[in-house]
Amino acid sequence: MLSYKKITIISACCFVVTIIFGFVAYEPIFEYAIRDQISLHRRNFVRQFYLKYPIPLDFRVNFFNVSNPDEVENGGVPVLSEVGPYCYDLYKERIDVEDNEAEDSLTYTPYDIYLFNQERSGNLSQDDYVTIIHPLVVFLNDALGFLFPEKSIFLTAKVRDILFDGMLINCTSRDFTAMAVCTQIRTKIPGIQFESKDYLKYALLGQQNGTLPTRITVLRGIKESENLGKLVAVDNVTKSDFWSNEECNEYKGTDGWIFPPFSGRLKTIWMHATTLCQNIHADFVGPATSNGFAVNKYYSDFQNICTNCSLQEPCLPEGLIDVTKCLTAPIYISLPHFLRSDESLIRGVKGLNPDTESHITRILLEGTLSLPMEAQIRLQFNFPVQPVKKITIMQNVSEVIHPVLWVEMGVVLNGWFLRMIKTFFYFLTALEVMKYISLVASLLGTAYGGYHLYKNKKLYSFKENIQTALRRRNIMKKVYLKIPMPLDFRVYFFNITNPSEVQNGELPVVKEVGPYCYDAFKEKIDVLENEGEDSLTYTPYETYFFNQDKSGRLTADDYVTVLHPLIVGIVNTVSRDSPPLLPIVDRAIKSIFKDPQNIYITTKVRDFLFDGMTINCKVQDFSATAVCTQLKAQIPGLIEIEKNVYKFSILGPRNGTLPNRYKVFRGMKKWHELGRLVEVNHEKESTVWSTKKCNRFRGTDGWIFPPFIDKEVGFWTYSSDLCRNMHLVFVEETSFHGVPAEKYYADLGDMSSNPDEKCYCPKTCLPKGMMDLTRCMGVPIYATLPHFLRVDKEVRRTVRGLKPITDEHIVRVIIQPLLGTPLEAQKRMQFNLPIQPVKKISLMKTLPQALHPIFWIEEAIVLEGPLFKMIKVVFVALKVFDVVKYCLLAVCLAFVAFGSYLCYKERKQKKQAVTPVSKTASTEHLLKSEQNAFEENKKIEDYIKNDEKIGKF
């Protein structure tokens, strides 16, 4: 326990440290740290964010639909109506990155992908038709009638064709003028797509989608942080040649995606827009907030552009930029709805409603890190239209700047990056607060910190012995290697109720039958430990026993009618890999399976799951012999009971076999790596999928987890049944028999829309919530959650009788996050086969198109017994500690009050007079004896001296 002297020394030290580091050196140290971290250094998180934006940008397109095209061609004023927004997910990435250490520069190629987002587009579709002025009208002179038979300067086309897929240009005409114009289109218009020799396609944004247009070089800001992101070259050219003013040709500012730290303190920030070949400035407007952050708001427009940089004399009207030379097309750029543009432009058309907040280009810049917390870049594309006497349909048009469409590229910072920034500023706020209260905290924190030290020491001791590492003495290791109680393994079948109707093309109607309950005993054998790498290697061993008590009236001898996995699986495999062999398979099915009448099998539960269904390959037919040979070679777990007679079961290969070897970290050296999967069958990553990212093992083996789980991040496990990583996401806080816990869910994701899951796609991506296990299990079967929970609604419509319920059919884990101990878990998975009409298979000619469920399983465990009691005791002790903490505080206050009272009472008594001590009779007698007989006895003398002292006292 610290003495008062030590407390005083500590307090004085805290005071000195606070003055030096909290006030004198705080600002310089802080600025140095920021400039060091906010750069494009390979080790910095900012670089990862810069090279690949972690979330798709919100790209929106709004068209100006022309309501009166005929009137415009006869000199009328265009009447426009805005149609949109058509929303796209814009994925931006910088590839082929090269660093130049000497120049402190980074060179990259921007790579953009646009994907239509139907959900955010609402009722709008890419197949909507809009009427706009024809983008190629400038080239249309006398060849108009040949190239575009509609003979109009306006175009009515689908949104997808105008933007990305391309509008058809017919160059089959042998007319000289048309041929000349087609030649010009092929050579001068960027982004022309060649459908064939005489048919071309042109899309406004097609050349930006998935292309590699240019190389850009920026400074990394490592040597000089104020140059971070500064644009220095485009395609190895250090300045442009588009403008008449030499100053305008010099690149000014950044590339618009990153800014030097503390740029938010500037009144004006500069960027170079490569798509416009123009330096753009944004001016400070005022303070604002974004996601709880104080930010500076900047607006950017095109005012005063002509004064500085222009291609035309005289200047264009205010608010317009001529980008003809930059884009090699006669296009004028403005803000949407001619915001902040010359009023003559707005009067030239009808239907525009400029609004600053909706149409301005704006950036919300955080002042310290200079990160764009929110940004909307908005541009409007316009075509100049004027009467042309030699073109019939353009003789009477009025001169006007005609809007075609406007785009918005928006981003709002969120996700993990925003959380990291919030953490940073929370940390700064904490530092500001701490430097003012450190003196008080140094006095009071000693007692409070001692209490918490004791509390954490007890908890750490518990973690060390129970949970946080697979030590030889730990209880958790014993439980991990051999679970002391059986897991509850349940099987539910989808019994078909209309097999005849399905054969005739109707949708399957299924009825759930179950659960058939089994006790699953799991242990890990052949355990090897490597002290050097802190790892443990084992082989999982599982055995299953039917539990009649839990199954109730159901028995393993019940008959169920389900989809025949062999017949449908064989046909699906051959249809996918070798369609010409289907006639052979058709004859083989009739021979091997005794001419079945439908695609279903009625069998006992025990035979379907574990004991095996009989496959009789005692046939002389060539086709049947060939198919049997393939079955023996490709189906895992096939058992030969006699010559050419086999047994096949769904789960039999899992029962009492030794399939794989796993290596995990023990967590003794690094507690956060407890249980992390390192190898499977001596391989450090899988070879099942197409990319290294999906083949990499992530998280634990699913049976143990490290402590201190962060609910914002969740946790990962590797599923050997699916050959993939599963992410468990926090759902809610809960309680498990009095122990605080958290609930997590997992599903199969959406490989059709999630770029991170594209590598799980077979040849084409499956709909949401589905997983093709062909590569993983060697058999053509699809996995989903039970009852098609969280599966695409179009797939759910192909089967009737399913009732998905989240809490009953989701993969769920209830975990104690502080210790990382699973208190309750349910792993659920449904197995399905696709069916469809196959003309060359007589049994499957008239089948419907459906994903047919067969059965689903649940593997559940609930923590109980001595281990749970030990965990509960710890949390009861923690509650007691909290109570004791406040009791001790109350006792201390009582002692302080009592001590104050005693001090007050003592001080009051000292003020009163002191009464002198009078001599007693015995004292008089002793003094008299001393005077008369001093030398009689030494003993009496000593006694007298002693009694004198008493009298004086």
pLDDT band of 948, cuts 50, 70, 90: very low
The pair of three-digit structure tokens given for residue 431, joined into one six-digit string? 């530092």
Residue 711 has pLDDT above 70, yes or no: yes
pLDDT per position as a tens digit, 281-300: 899 998 888 887 888 899 99
Please give the pLDDT value at position 930.
40
For residues 788-815, give the mean pLDDT: 93
The β-bridge partners of 639 are 647
pLDDT band of 952, cuts 50, 70, 90: very low
Measured CA to CA, the distance from residue 147 to residue 415 in angstroms comes to 49
CB 413 within 8 A of CB 371: yes
pLDDT band of 853, cuts 50, 70, 90: very high
609 secondary structure, DSSP code? I
Which residues make Cβ contacts (< 8 Å) with residue 719, sequence separation at least 6?
Answer: 702, 725, 726
The β-bridge partners of 409 are 59, 377
Lowest-pLDDT range of 109-123, 393-407, 658-672, 840-854: 658-672
pLDDT per position as a tens digit, 637-666: 788 888 888 888 888 888 877 678 999 988
For residues 532-561, give the mean pLDDT: 92
For residues 462-483, give the mean pLDDT: 65
The pair of three-digit structure tokens given for residue 612, joined into one six-digit string? 């095996």
Measured CA to CA, the distance from residue 389 to residue 396 in angstroms comes to 8
DSSP of 191-232, one letter per residue? T-EESSSSEEEE-SSGGGSS-----EEEE--SS-GGGTTBEE
pLDDT per position as a tens digit, 3-28: 444 555 665 566 666 666 555 555 67
Residue 535 has pLDDT above 80, yes or no: yes
Residue 492 Ramachandran class (φ > 0 left, ψ -120 to 50 alpha, else beta) = beta
Residue 810 has pLDDT above 90, yes or no: yes
pLDDT per position as a tens digit, 718-745: 988 888 999 999 999 998 888 888 999 9
Please give the pLDDT value at position 747.
92
For residues 776-803, give the mean pLDDT: 91
* Cβ count near 474 (within 10 Å): 19
pLDDT per position as a tens digit, 371-397: 788 899 999 999 888 888 877 778 888
Measured CA to CA, the distance from residue 868 to residue 682 in angstroms comes to 34
pLDDT per position as a tens digit, 164-210: 888 877 787 777 767 777 777 777 666 677 777 778 888 888 777 87
Measured CA to CA, the distance from residue 695 to residue 689 in angstroms comes to 6
pLDDT per position as a tens digit, 906-915: 555 544 433 3
pLDDT per position as a tens digit, 855-874: 999 999 888 877 777 777 77
Please give the pLDDT value at position 1.
46
CB 115 within 8 A of CB 89: yes
pLDDT per position as a tens digit, 51-66: 888 788 999 999 999 9
The pair of three-digit structure tokens given for residue 217, joined into one six-digit string? 């070089």
pLDDT band of 668, cuts 50, 70, 90: confident
pLDDT band of 39, cuts 50, 70, 90: confident
For the chain, give the percent of residues with pLDDT over 90.
28
Measured CA to CA, the distance from residue 181 to residue 174 in angstroms comes to 11
CB 420 within 8 A of CB 432: no
CB 744 within 8 A of CB 728: yes
Residue 921 has pLDDT above 70, yes or no: no
- Rounded to 5°, angle at Cα 800 from 796 and 802: 70
Q: Ranked by mean pLDDT, which of 497-511, 653-667, 817-831 comes out on top?
A: 497-511
* Secondary structure, 3-state, 928-947: HHHHHCCCCCHHHHHHHHHH
Please give the pLDDT value at position 214.
84
Please give the pLDDT value at position 124.
95
For residues 615-631, give the mean pLDDT: 84
pTM higher than 0.85, yes or no? Answer: no
Measured CA to CA, the distance from residue 272 to residue 357 in angstroms comes to 23
Lowest-pLDDT range of 246-250, 605-609, 701-705, 895-899: 895-899
Please give the pLDDT value at position 278.
82
pLDDT per position as a tens digit, 106-151: 999 998 899 999 999 999 999 999 999 887 765 454 344 444 444 6
For residues 784-792, give the mean pLDDT: 94
Please give the pLDDT value at position 940.
37
Q: Find the distance separating the first CA and the last CA of the chain, reported in whole Å.
A: 40
For the chain, give the mean pLDDT.
Answer: 80
For the chain, give the percent of residues with pLDDT over 70.
80
Lowest-pLDDT range of 181-190, 570-579, 893-902: 893-902
What is the dihedral sign for C-alpha 493, 494, 500, 504? negative
